[in-house]
Amino acid sequence: MTPQTSAKTLTFVSYGFILIAIIWGLAPYQAINTPSKLLIDMLDWPLGDGPAVLDRSTRWLSSVGAGLLAMLSIMLLGIVVPAIRRGDRQPVRVAIWALVAWFVIDSAGSIAAGVASNAAFNIILLVAALIPLITVKLEN
């Protein structure tokens, strides 16, 4: 993948992550958290058995998780995408390790909590983010 294509792909993926972070980040706000409840229901199959009301811990941890996902997205957009355009390998390597760490911790915890469907969804996100990072052809 060329650096230009990789940068564009990672930019698209990062904006997708931001959208997920915004939806997830609505969880603490009971008056407007229907999109969050739908997202949580979609990630914990079967669809349609999600909670009518999110408990305090879910709302709190959703705000933490959404904030971290937004941070990751902004770092990808502000640090990694420009590094790809410059041909700088080090931020790309660090981003790969960071994504793998997220995947292992999030997926293992999801499985331990009985929500293996979230781990399956994480595979899609991991692959979407890793493809432009692993396949980019950088000169130096």
Q: Are 3 and 85 in contact (CB under 8 A)?
A: yes
Burial class (CB in 10 A: 0-12, 13-18, 19+), 140: exposed
Tokens found for residue 67: 């904030």
pTM value is 0.89
Cα gap 122→103, rounded to integer Å:
7
The mean pLDDT value for 53-74 works out to: 94
Summarised one tens digit per residue, pLDDT across range 77-120 is 999 999 999 999 999 999 999 999 999 999 999 999 999 999 99
φ, ψ of residue 15 in degrees (nearest 5): -65, -35
Q: Checking phi first, is residue 87 left (phi over 0); if not, alpha (psi -120 to 50) or beta?
A: left
